[in-house]
Amino acid sequence: MSDFIKIVDTQGNERFYDPKNIVNIQINSGDTVYLLHVSNSLPNDDSLFVTFDNGENVLLTDLILFLNESDATIIIVDPDNNHSELNTYAQLLEFLETAASSAILESDVASTTQSITTSITSYELSTRGQKIQNDEDISLSIVNSSTNSSLVDSSEPVSKEAIAGTVFINTITDDNIINITESSSLITISGTAIGGDISVNDTVLLLINGTTYTTNVLADGSWHVSVNGSDLINELDFKVDVSSTNSSANSISSSVSASFSKDLIEDIISLSLNTDTGSSSSDLLTSDTLINVTGLESDSTWEYSTDGGSTWINGNGTSFNLAQNTSYLQDDVQVRTTDVAGNTSISKMAAITTDNLANDVSLTLNNDTGRDDDFITSDSKINVTGLETGSTWEYSTDGGSTWISGSGTSFNLMTNTVYTEDSVQVKTTDVAGNIHISKMAEIITDSRADDILVLNTDTGLNRFDNITSNNQINVQVLESTSTWEYSLDSGNTWIEGVGTSFLLASNKVYNDEEIQIKSIDIAGNISIEKMASITTDDTSDTVSLSLSNDTQITVSGLENTSIWEYSLDGGNIWLSGSGISFNIDQNTSYLDDDIQVRTTDIAGNTSIANISVLKNHEDAAMVNGNITSSDIDDNSTAAYTTTSTVAGFTLNADGSYSFDPSNASYQNLEEGVNQVITIPVTVTDDKGATHTQDLSITITGTNDAPVLNTITAVTTSE
C-alpha cells in the first residue's frame, strides 16, 4: 500500500499516511485531507469504502466520524488528478452517491461475476480501459442496499465500451518539409492504425485546408492517402481520425495530430568569373578559370556542369574551375543547387572563353647589319612578331623600369647606344589579360660611319692643296673591329687594307675620286670616303750652286714653283732668295758648308745644297770632308752617290769624301790658273726620295821649282 492520504495543516505542512494505518491518523481542526489516486468510493454506514487505482480497497471508518464531527476539509483526487473539495459530510455523501453510479469490472475473464451493493437505482459498467474480448457477455448483479433487491438480472447482456487504438503518421515527404516541387504535386501521407477497436477497412479521415481526404486501414494496419501539396502548404497542422466500431456497435475515433513545415524559396545564386581579365570587365574572356558561386543557403548542396547539364559534378565550397584555353557556349556552364527542403534551382552563364596562353612574341632586329648575328646594327628598328589580334603591347629599354606603349609591329631604339642583355623588353597583354614579357640579348646600335682622314701630311706649300711629298694615306678613327679596303682607280678594284695606312705611288697625280676608302664597321655600316685630286711629289729640286764671279753664287735647277733660301753661316740663319742667284761678301773666307741653299718645292720637298769652297793648290795635301742633308721625315736615313768619275775624288755612301789635288791630272796647271771641278752628288732617303746637288772643287796652279834629282858625273873623251 502507498501513502495515499495527505494531510496539510494551516501552516502548509504536509503529512502522508498509508490508508491501511488509518487508526494512526491524527486530524486537527483546519487540516485539509487529500485522498489520492481514488478510483471509486462508497459510503457504508459510518464508514467510507475507498478503492484506489492500484486495486486496493480500504474502509475508512474513523475518517467519516471525524468529518461528521469537525470542520476539516476533505479533497478526493482521482487518478487523472481531478480534485473534488468536500467541506461537509453532506457534500461527501452526495459526492459518493454520484460516484457510486459506476461499477468497475475488475477482471477480463469469461464468465466472471462481480457483485456491487449500492443504494442507487442507475448504473453503468466500465472496464477501466481494458478491452472486453469479442462476443463475451458480462453478467452484472447490483443489489440495492435499502431493499436488498437485485437491480440487474444476471442474464442481461452488458454493452461493451469501444476502445480507441493508436494512430501513427509517417514523415511527410523525405524531410517533413514541403518544397516548391512538392507543393504542386500529389503527396502521399501514410501511417499505421493499430490497437483498440481499430480493424481492417476502418475509415481514415484527413481534413486539410477545407478538403476531406479519406482512405481505409489495410490488413497490416497501414494506411495511405494522396493529398494535394497545394492544400498542405496552406495548413501545416492537421489531424488524422480513424473511425472504429466494436461488436457492441459502439464507435470510437482514434486520432493523431501531425505538423510539418514548408520551404518554397529556392536558392537565388549568382555565378561570376573570379576575375574578368579581358580587355573589358564584362566580356567573359579571362585567364582566370575560377567561377564563384554566391548566394548558397547554409546546408545546401550544389553541382556544376560544363556541358549544358548533360553531366554534373559535385561542387565544394563556393567555387569551381573551368578548363584552361576552352570556349564555352552560352548555357554550357551551369550550377544546380538543392537546399535542405529539396528545392532545386539551376543558374546558367553566358558564353565564356578561358585563355591561359600568353602571347609569345618574337623580337628581332629589322636588319642585323653586323657580322654573324652579333646584334650590332646600324638599323635601330626592332620588329615585334607573333602578336595576337586585339593584343596590346609595351616596350622598355631600361630593363622593365619604365614602359612605353607600342603601336603597329615595331619600335625604334636610340642610335649609337649599347643596350645590355634584357634591357630591351616587350610586354604583351592579350585580350584575355595574359601578360608575357620577351627579352633581348645585348644590342648595340651604331649608325656612325668611320671618320677617315686620308693624307698623312699635306706637305705642300698650302696645307690644304693635296700636294704632298708624303705618299702615305692614314685611315684614322677606325673602330677596333672594322675592316677596310682602298681603291686607286675610282672603286673599280679594291685592295684589302692592313693596319691604319697605305701608300700611294710616288710622283703621281690622282684625279678627283680616284682614291677611295671603304670601311665596314662591326655593325655593318659601310663608309666610302672619296678624295679630291692628290699629287704626290717626293722628288726635291736638283739645284746646283756655282760661282758666277768671286762674289756671286748662281742657283740653277729650281722648279718654277719652288721657293728657296740661302745661308752664309752653315744654316744658322736663312735668307729668302729670289731669282737665280745671291751675293756673298767680298774679302771673306768661307769654310766648307758655310754657303748653303735650301729649296722647297710646291709639294714641300726640301733640299739643301752645300758649297764646299776648296781653294786647293796643286800638290796640296789630301782634302777630306762630309756632305750632309736634311729631310722633313723624322728618323729618315740618307745615302750619297755620284755619277761622275773625278781624278783623285772618292765619295762614300755616308757622305764622307776625300780629294787628292796632287793627282797627276792637275800638275800641268800654270801658276795662278784655276780649274773648277763640278761633281754631282745625289742623296736618297729610305723611302726612295732623292735630291741631287753639285759639289764644286777649285784648284789653283802653282809654279813648281825644278828639282835636280841626280847629278851624274859625265866624262867626255876627245
**583 and 676 share one domain:** yes
In a domain, 574, yes or no: yes
> What's the rounded mean pLDDT across residues 417-422?
89
Rg (CA), the chain: 76
Residue 137 falls inside a structural domain: no
Question: Within this chain, do residues 621 and 647 fall inside the same structural domain, yes or no?
Answer: yes
Quick one: cell of 147?
431493499
Residue with grid cell 592579350, as numbered in its chain: 430
pLDDT band at 101 (very low <50, low <70, confident <90, very high): very low
Per-residue pLDDT band for 534 (boundaries 50, 70, 90) equals: confident
Query: For 525-536, b where at least 16 C-beta lie within 10 A, e where not — what string?
Result: bebebebeebbb
Q: What is the CB neighbour count within 10 angstroms for residue 421? A: 12
525 and 561 belong to one structural domain: no
User: Is 79 part of a structural domain of the chain?
Assistant: yes
Q: Show the cell assigned to 547.
A: 760661282
Q: What integer pLDDT is reported at residue 69 of this predicted model?
A: 58
E strand or H helix at 468, and its extent? strand 467-468
247, 282: one domain: no
**Assigned C-alpha cell, 637:** 736615313
- Of all residues in the chain, what percent carry a pLDDT higher than 70? 75
Cα–Cα distance between 370 and 379 in angstroms, integer?
10
Sheet holding 417-419, edge to edge: 376-377, 443-445, 417-419
Picking from 233, 263, 293, the residue at the C-terminal end of a domain is 263
The answer to the question of residue 141 being in a domain is: no
Same domain, yes or no: 205 and 315? no
Residues 481 and 380 occupy one common structural domain:
no
User: Are both 566 and 485 inside the same structural domain?
Assistant: no
Nearest to 680 by CA among 648, 709, 637, 649: 649
In this structure, are 593 and 692 located in the same domain?
yes
**Tell me, what CATH number does 294's domain have?**
2.60.40
Query: What CATH number is attached to the domain comprising 213?
Result: 2.60.40.10
pLDDT tens-digit series, residues 248-294 = 889 999 999 989 888 888 778 899 999 887 777 777 888 889 999 99
675 and 592, same structural domain? yes
Q: Max CA-CA distance within the chain? A: 265
Distance CA 368, CA 413 (A): 13
13-19: long-range contacts, CB 8 A cutoff, minimum separation 24: 19/50, 19/52, 19/56, 19/58, 19/60
Q: Which domain holds residue 680?
A: 544-700
Angle at which helix 61-69 crosses helix 89-99, to 10 degrees, equals 140
pLDDT-wise least confident of 218-222, 426-430, 616-620: 616-620
User: Which residue, 333, 354, 375, sits at the end of a domain?
Assistant: 354
Question: 305: part of which helix (H) or strand (E)?
Answer: strand 301-305
Q: How far apart are CA 29 and CA 407, in angstroms?
A: 117
Q: What is the mean pLDDT of residues 20-38?
A: 73
Q: What are the φ and ψ backbone dihedral angles of 602, each rounded to 5 degrees? A: -65, -25
Least confident of 14-18, 223-227, 708-712: 708-712
> What 3 state SS string does 529-553 have?
EECCCEEECCCCCCCEEEEEECCEE
What pLDDT is recorded for position 717?
35
Apex CA 22: angle with CA 18 and CA 28, to 5°? 105
Q: Specify whether 526 is located in the same domain as 553.
A: no
Query: Residue 303 pLDDT > 80, yes or no?
Result: yes
Question: Is 21 a domain residue?
Answer: yes
Count the domains in the chain: 6
Q: Is the residue at 243 inside a domain?
A: yes
| Whether 669 and 569 share a structural domain | yes
| Domain edge (last residue) among 240, 263, 286 | 263
Q: Residues 691, 571: one domain?
A: yes
